[in-house]
Amino acid sequence: MHPVLFQLPLPAWTIPLFPALVVLAALGALLALFGYQKRAGDLLVIGLVLAAAAGLSAFSYRGQVTTLSPLPIYSYGAMLCVSIVVGWFLTLGLAERDGLPRHKMANCYFVTAASALIGARLLYFVTNPQEFDVFRDLFAFRRGGLVAYGGFIGGFIGSFAYLRSQKIRLLPWADVAVPSLASGLLITRLGCYLFGCDFGTPLGEGAPAWLRRLGTFPRWTEGTLLEGSGSPAWIQHVNQRGLSPDATASLPVHPTQLYEMLAGAVLLGLVFLVRKHRRFRGQVFLAFTLGYGYLRFAVEILRDDAERGELGPFVGTHVYLPAALLIFAAAYIYGPSRSVRPPNLRWATDALALVPPVALYLALRPASFAQAASTQLSTSQWIGLFTGVAAGVAWYTLDEAGKQHPAAAMSLGPGAAPEADDSDGGAEPEEASEPPPAPKPKAKKKKPQPSSS
């Protein structure tokens, strides 16, 4: 694995942090002001985030200095940047195809990306508060710490706020944005795999050799990272599973990062398939929401990293997990199943949706109830379950509304209407001269009528 792809050489300058961060905050404020004046939402958001982050961090670093050293480019951060760039071109291309204004969608993309990053970090803080000793730890991204569902929720809130101000419906934007979420899942999980985080439970002795090789994470050489001397899996296995500190690699585990990459590829194909047959705005978004919730829930069953967070009561594993999958199946049957044609195919997919919960119950059923194990759901499993059910209910509602008002179901919102052409330099259009009054029709002479006898 390669947690650090390469290092950027920097001069060995010693910089006082407080004044440097104050200057950076001032530059961010100026950028935000410029963006506000030019009505450039992307520059406004970038400036505000920069000003807030640098300004708040400055007070945490008063009296401290830092000496520049070679800057490591981490695999996860690099893959995250690649996913943002790919998502940019994918989202704006689909937006233009759907008739959404490109410049507004570009601004919305920046707002969504920034709020997604904030949401991902905040949810990680909520689930792992013990890792944050002081406020500035929130900005210590070198140590990792982003939760995909936090980014999903944060991006949703940010895009909703921006689009509301532009009088554009949220669902058309969501339809063009979720393909970039699927591609982002595919790309960023490769970064997770290279870094070694988000790993799974240990494999059994009967696991195939190729899977054991994929799921073995090495002990890094000293100095690879500022903190820790091995991959997250290696460290956790030394601390919790009795692995010798002299071991050169972790125990073989499920490479759940690669499982999620596969889930991203499946979802990418799914959203483009639904796009071809959609009957209302939001259909692509809801398909992704339910599909991702289901697949993420399934992958989380095999996750073993301590940072995932767990909530809720302890319930028998053989009941808890199959019941959750049964709820997902009910959400599908209630909502998306209605859009499957013909009826025979619909009934087949309904029956297929019930197979995983039954199969999982049979696989987890203990020999005796006295031997039954208990478990909690992770934070992501709870969010996936609730959002999946909400997607099923919303699908039913929007599908019914689309049948009654097809044009309204596919509308974009008044803010998406084409704007006037500004190629004339912004000159006011000339007022049309009043047409001459129409001539009055001449009265017709009445012909003499014959007298009646």
> Which of the residue ranges 237-241, 347-351, 386-390 would you say has the lowest mean pLDDT?
237-241
- Assigned domain for 88 exists: yes
Confidence of residue 433 (pLDDT cuts 50, 70, 90): very low
Q: Is residue 342 part of a domain?
A: yes
Q: What is the pLDDT of residue 443?
A: 53
CA dihedral 87→89→95→101, nearest 10 degrees, is 120
Instruction: Give the global pTM.
Output: 0.80
- The model's pLDDT over 359-406, given as tens digits with 9 standing for 90+, comes to 999 999 888 776 778 888 988 899 999 999 999 999 999 999 988 998
Return the amino acid letter for 329: A
- pLDDT tops 80 at residue 258: yes
CA dihedral 421, 422, 423, 427 (to 10 degrees): 120
Beta bridge partners of 311: 377
Answer whether residue 3 is part of any domain.
Answer: no
Which segment, 41-50, 112-121, 186-195, is predicted with the most confidence on average? 186-195
What average pLDDT does this structure show over 63-91? Answer: 88
- In this structure, is residue 429 part of a structural domain? no
Residue 206 inside a domain? The answer is no
> Domain of 83?
70-201+254-409
Token code pair at residue 271: 């959203």
pLDDT at site 138:
67
375: DSSP letter: E
Instruction: Please tell me what DSSP assigns to residue 224.
Output: S
Residues 6+ apart with CB under 8 A from 266: 291, 295
Task: Name every residue whose Cβ is closer than 8 Å to that of residue 343 and which is 6 or more positions away in sequence.
Answer: none
> How confident is the model over 273-323, as pLDDT tens digits?
999 989 999 999 999 999 999 999 999 999 998 777 788 888 889 899 999
Count of domains observed in the chain:
1
Pick from 24-33, 67-76, 385-394: least confident: 67-76
Residue 427 lies in a domain: no
What are 79-90's pLDDT values in tens digits?
A: 988 998 999 999
Does residue 304 belong to any structural domain of this protein?
yes
Would you say residue 420 has pLDDT above 60? no
**pLDDT of 324:** 95
Q: For residue 68, name the pLDDT band (cuts at 50, 70, 90).
A: confident
Q: Residue range 3-28: average pLDDT?
A: 88
Share above pLDDT 70 across residues of the chain, in percent, rounded to a whole number: 86
How much is the pLDDT for 384?
93
Q: Is residue 333 in a domain?
A: yes
The closest alpha carbon to 5, from 76, 70, 73, belongs to 73
Nearest to 360 by CA among 303, 298, 289, 315: 298
Is residue 336 within 8 A of residue 392, CB to CB? The reply is: yes
Cα radius of gyration rounded to whole Å, the chain: 29
Confidence bin at 439 (pLDDT 50/70/90): low
Report the C-alpha dihedral over residues 152, 154, 160, 165, rounded to 10 degrees.
-150
State the pLDDT at residue 140. 61
